[in-house]
């Protein structure tokens, strides 16, 4: 909002600034306007007018054109260009009949022009017109603000509908059987406006299949966001009902055709089922950008096999089959990543994007250890950032990507690094997600979370004296039987009281964490020496607590 518009929001009374170097005329105009309940102030020259404008914040100016030092044209330039006020209404008053002066005034940004001597009735009529325009502008601004508020609400609700995957691990229910996979999922979502038509999701089905989808609703704004919410609802219904991909897309298409009708809206979507037990991938692509499947000696384009949704009621959606091998990744994305000019002679189209993304995936997936882990967790974000840097600006279209990387299911998960009280929750999060992927019993997951937090807090307090220190977490899973987590440190040893641990009295400063871990876990063991300590937590959830095929 401009400098002037901000101040004018504060009061309903119409404020008018009269600027003229003729004291008699200035006084006459002020008295005449005051008789009609306008709030009036005056200035004798251009510099005084600008200072008064900043303080008074007028709605209208009656401005003499010919004044010494700083004339009316200079005042208009200051208000329009220096202070960016396009809303204040400026009526120029001058005795000069020079047509060039009139053209200069309108060119500078005045709204109206009157010759002196001014007819009283005409001046009041012109002021009334300016007031009506002001009131209309205020109503338009109020309506715009209401729409902006609604769009902001829509965008906020839409953000809640979209998941956030930053390196989340999805484990196979038969983990750690030979041949099964762990899927690591990351995502990025960059709407061009506050509300978007892009949708992505990743849902575990009960049979050990991971279902992924990326969809793009035509258009932008609240309408596109509304249709996106419909797509999301139908997608989750299909997952709950265990519909096949073909059945899912038929459901989406029939409902969208009925809702959209003869409108020009449509939806493109690509969904894939990845069986974590063997790496088999089933895919349906309805008019969407081809996903990129890249791995060692492997490169596939998951191209469209059907037309867009919501347009052809009789469309069929055949499934295509691929294999996701350990170390490979699939990139799902929307068209906001390409179709822009790099220079006058170079255009970044879909093929240029494919080449760039595949090269980046090849390079990233061939890295080792921590660099590979960072790539898997952040690839979509890095890809978008790199393309924004090439483009020199944020995408003008919604840009969304979902990246799924296949890992061989190792017998254990580990996390190591420097732990402190501030990063404890984030530090243990990958292990908690893995447990959540394997257990359907929410109480068991929460019990494990509390016990792990207490174990880490215990290490910080006793091994490192409350200061940050190096910690290694290891999680071993025997699906259907037990989970074992160890917390290792390199700090000073500490004395461990014998079990069983009882709840200490309120005035005792320590011991509650040990008691809590003992109550939450099936067994707790702490071994401490001068070289460091190890806390072992074991939980044996019942068979119904596991997510098993």
Q: In 3D, which of 96, 83, 95, 131 has the Cα closest to residue 111?
A: 131
The pLDDT score that the predictor gives to residue 89 is 92
Backbone angles phi, psi at 412, to 5 degrees: -155, 160
> For residue 16, what pLDDT is reported?
95
Q: Name which residue leads in pLDDT, 478 or 309.
A: 309
| pLDDT at residue 11 is higher than 90 | no
| Residue linked to tokens 């299911």 | 409
CA distance 281 to 238: 18
> Is-contact 180 174, C-beta < 8 A?
yes
Residue in 265, 260, 293, 263 with CA at minimum distance from that of residue 279? 293
The pTM of this model reads 0.62
DSSP-derived letter for residue 78 is I
The angle subtended at Cα 385 by Cα 355 and Cα 182, nearest 5°, is 75
- Better-predicted residue by pLDDT, 12 or 264: 264
Are 197 and 162 contacting, i.e. CB atoms less than 8 angstroms apart?
A: no
Compute the mean pLDDT over every residue in the chain, rounded to the nearest whole number: 86
Q: Please give the helix or strand (H or E) that residue 122 lies within, else none.
A: helix 120-161
Express each pLDDT in 273-320 by its tens digit: 999 888 899 999 999 999 999 988 888 999 999 999 998 999 999 999
Residue 278: count other Cβ atoms within 10 Å of its Cβ. 14
Q: What is the reported pLDDT for 271?
A: 96
Distance CA 128, CA 142 (A): 21
Among residues of the chain, what percentage have pLDDT more than 90? Answer: 48
Q: What is the CATH number of domain 162-408?
A: 3.60.40.10
* Residue pLDDT, tens place only, 48-92: 999 999 999 999 999 998 888 889 999 999 999 999 998 899 999
Q: b vs e for 109-131, b when ≥16 Cβ sit within 10 Å of the residue's Cβ?
A: bbbbbeeeebeeeebbebbeebb
User: How far is Cα 257 from Cα 537, in angstroms, rounded to an integer?
Assistant: 54
Instruction: Give 498-519 pLDDT, tens digit per residue.
Output: 888 887 776 665 678 888 999 9
Q: Quick one: tokens of 97?
A: 């009949």
Half-sphere exposure of 214 (CA within 13 A, CB side): 27
pLDDT for the residue numbered 160: 79
Pair of tokens at residue 478: 């025997």
| Mean pLDDT lowest among 4-18, 113-127, 348-362 | 4-18
pLDDT greater than 60 at residue 549: no
> E-assigned strands of 20-126?
39-43, 60-64, 89-94, 112-115
Helices H, strands E: what count in the chain? 13, 23
Per the CB < 8 A criterion, the answer to whether 541 and 444 are in contact is: yes
Three-state DSSP class for 238? helix
Strands 399-408 and 469-478: unpaired
Segment 109-142, tens digit of pLDDT: 999 999 888 888 999 999 999 889 888 888 888 8
**Window from 199-208, 319-328, 357-366, 406-415 with minimum mean pLDDT:** 406-415
pLDDT of 548 over the 50 cut: no
Residue 290 phi/psi, 5-degree rounding, is -65, 130
Q: What percent of the chain has pLDDT over 70?
A: 92
CATH code for the structural domain at 3-141 = 3.40.50.2300
Helix, strand or coil, per DSSP, at residue 322: strand
pLDDT band at 7 (very low <50, low <70, confident <90, very high): very low
pLDDT of residue 500: 85
- Confidence label for 3 from pLDDT (cuts 50, 70 and 90): very low
Report the distance separating Cα 306 and Cα 43, nearest Å.
Answer: 71
Q: In which band, very low, low, confident or very high, does the pLDDT at 181 lie, cut at 50, 70 and 90?
A: confident
DSSP 244-293: -HHHHHHHHHHHHHHHHTTSS--EEEEEEEEETTT-EEEEEEESPPPEEE
Alpha-helical segments (H) within 312-423: 350-365, 369-391
The phi and psi torsions of 17 (rounded to 5 degrees) equal -105, 120
In this prediction, residue 367 has a pLDDT band, given cuts at 50, 70 and 90, of confident
Q: How far apart are CA 184 and CA 210, in angstroms?
A: 11
Give the separation between CA 535 and CA 494, rounded to whole angstroms.
12
| pLDDT class of 262 with cuts at 50, 70, 90 | confident
Helix (H) / strand (E) containing 433: helix 424-438
Q: Count Cβ atoms within 10 A of the Cβ of residue 515 and give its class: 0-12 exposed, 13-18 middle, 19 or more buried.
A: middle
Q: Taking a C-beta distance cutoff of 8 angstroms, is the pair 102, 122 a contact?
A: no
Q: Is residue 405 helix, strand or coil? A: strand
pLDDT band at 20 (very low <50, low <70, confident <90, very high): very high
Query: 181-190 and 166-171 as β-strands: parallel, antiparallel, unpaired?
Result: antiparallel
Distance CA 180, CA 548 (A): 13
What is the pLDDT confidence band of residue 167, given thresholds at 50, 70 and 90? low
CATH architecture of 412-545: 2-Layer Sandwich (3.30)
> To 5 degrees, how large is the angle CA 210–CA 475–CA 456?
125
* Angstrom distance (rounded) from CA 196 to CA 130: 38
Domain ranges of the chain: 3-141, 162-408, 412-545
Residue of higher predicted confidence among 439 and 34:
34
How far, in Å, CA of 191 to CA of 154, rounded? 13
Instruction: Provide the strand spans (E) within 26-136.
Output: 39-43, 60-64, 89-94, 112-115
Average pLDDT on 5-25 reads 74
Nearest CA to 198 among 386, 334, 19? 334
- Residues 222 and 149: beta-carbon distance below 8 Å: no
């Amino acid at each position: 909002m401009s400098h002037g518009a901000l101040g004018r929001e504060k009061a309903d009374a119409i404020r008018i600034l009269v600027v003229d170097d003729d004291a008699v005329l200035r006084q006459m105009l002020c008295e005449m306007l005051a008789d009609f309940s306008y709030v009036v102030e005056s200035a004798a020259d251009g510099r005084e007018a600008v200072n008064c404008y900043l303080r008074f914040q007028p709605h209208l100016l009656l401005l003499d054109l010919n004044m010494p030092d700083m004339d009316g044209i200079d005042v208009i330039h200051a208000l329009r260009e220096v202070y960016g006020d396009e809303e204040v209404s400026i009526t120029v008053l001058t005795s000069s009949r020079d047509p060039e002066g009139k053209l200069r005034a309108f060119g500078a940004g005045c709204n109206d022009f009157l010759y002196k001597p001014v007819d009283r009735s005409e001046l009041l009529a012109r002021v009334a017109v300016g007031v009506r325009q002001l009131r209309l502008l205020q109503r338009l601004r109020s309506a715009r603000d209401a729409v902006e508020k609604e769009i902001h609400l829509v965008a906020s609700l839409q953000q809640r509908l979209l998941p956030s995957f930053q390196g989340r691990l999805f484990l196979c229910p038969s983990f750690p059987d030979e041949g099964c996979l762990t899927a690591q999922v990351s995502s990025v979502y960059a709407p061009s406006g506050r509300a978007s038509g892009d949708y992505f999701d990743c849902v575990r089905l009960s049979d050990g299949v991971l279902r992924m989808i990326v969809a793009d609703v035509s258009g932008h704004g609240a309408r596109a966001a509304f249709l996106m919410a419909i797509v999301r609802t139908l997608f989750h219904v299909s997952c709950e009902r265990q519909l096949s991909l073909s059945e899912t897309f038929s459901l989406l298409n029939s409902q969208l055709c009925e809702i959209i009708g003869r409108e020009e809206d449509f939806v493109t979507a690509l969904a894939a089922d990845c069986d974590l037990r063997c790496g088999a991938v089933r895919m349906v692509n309805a008019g969407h950008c081809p996903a990129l499947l890249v791995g060692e000696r492997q490169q596939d384009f998951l191209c469209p096999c059907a037309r867009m949704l919501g347009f052809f009621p009789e469309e069929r959606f055949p499934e295509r089959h691929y294999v996701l091998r350990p170390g490979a990744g699939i990139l799902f994305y929307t068209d906001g990543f390409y179709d822009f000019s790099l220079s006058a002679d170079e255009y970044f189209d879909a093929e240029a994007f494919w080449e760039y993304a595949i090269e980046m995936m090849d390079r990233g997936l061939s890295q080792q250890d921590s660099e590979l882990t960072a790539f898997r967790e952040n690839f979509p974000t890095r890809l978008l950032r790199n393309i924004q840097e090439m483009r020199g600006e944020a995408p003008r279209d919604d840009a969304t990507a979902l990246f799924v990387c296949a890992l061989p299911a190792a017998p254990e998960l580990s996390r190591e690094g420097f732990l402190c009280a501030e990063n404890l929750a984030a530090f243990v999060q990958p292990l908690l997600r893995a447990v959540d992927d394997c257990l359907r019993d929410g109480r068991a997951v929460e019990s494990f979370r509390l016990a792990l937090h207490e174990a880490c807090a215990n290490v910080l307090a006793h091994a490192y004296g409350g200061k940050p220190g190096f910690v290694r977490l290891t999680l071993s899973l025997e699906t259907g039987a037990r989970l074992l987590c160890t917390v290792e440190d390199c700090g000073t040893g500490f004395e461990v009281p014998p079990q069983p641990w009882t709840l200490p009295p309120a005035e005792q400063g320590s011991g509650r964490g040990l008691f809590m871990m003992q109550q939450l876990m099936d067994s707790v063991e702490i071994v401490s020496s001068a070289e460091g300590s190890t806390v072992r937590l074991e939980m044996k959830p019942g068979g119904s607590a596991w997510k098993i095929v």
